[in-house]
Amino acid sequence: MAQGPARPRSAIVRARRADARGAQRFGRMLAGASLVLLVATSLVAEGCESPPARAWQAAREYGAGTRALDAGDAAEAVARLERAASLSPRASEIRNHLGIAYWQTGRPDRARAEFERALALDCENEAARRNLDSLDAATQTVGEVGGTEDGG
């Protein structure tokens, strides 16, 4: 029975562990702003897309997406993190987690694009840099093992 390329599971696990510190830092930052944002959003009319309301919703989606990643539900993580990225397109941490979710769902090209976008937004995002390096290494390893279809 033919098998597809091996999924770089250990690399994904390492990437998630390395990224946990960044997620915790981002989570603490969001928690500090939560009360302010909660008050601000309670003053905004329902359906209003004010910047505080968008930031609050992006934080909620980011948290839900991160929890889905931790629970192993990459498809749910993609949906939540895509929504977070649309609400807060300049958040490097969100882009990095979206890259991890894409990688876990077998979409390395989209993962690479998100890791690169995270680095373009924040060139000091070491988690995104490590994830991109791990993805490149895993992709190269899979390519070497799999060979090419034409035998070359």
Angle, helices 108-121 vs 92-104, to 10°: value is 170
Q: Look at residue 14 and tell me if it is in a domain.
A: no
pLDDT of 134 over the 90 cut: yes
Q: Look at residue 9 and tell me if it is in a domain.
A: no
| Amino acid at the residue 74 | A
Q: Look at residue 86 and tell me if it is in a domain.
A: yes
Structural domain containing residue 34: 23-144
Q: What is the pLDDT of residue 36?
A: 43
Q: What percent of the chain has pLDDT over 70?
A: 61
Q: What is the CATH number of the domain that holds 83?
A: 1.25.40.10
Instruction: Summarize the confidence of residues 118-135 as an average pLDDT.
Output: 96
Q: Look at residue 77 and tell me if it is in a domain.
A: yes
Q: What is the pLDDT of residue 140?
A: 86
Where does the pLDDT of residue 45 fall: very low under 50, low under 70, confident under 90, or very high at 90 and above?
Answer: very low
Instruction: Summarize the confidence of residues 38-49 as an average pLDDT.
Output: 47
**How many domains does the structure of the chain reveal?**
1
Where does the pLDDT of residue 103 fall: very low under 50, low under 70, confident under 90, or very high at 90 and above?
Answer: very high
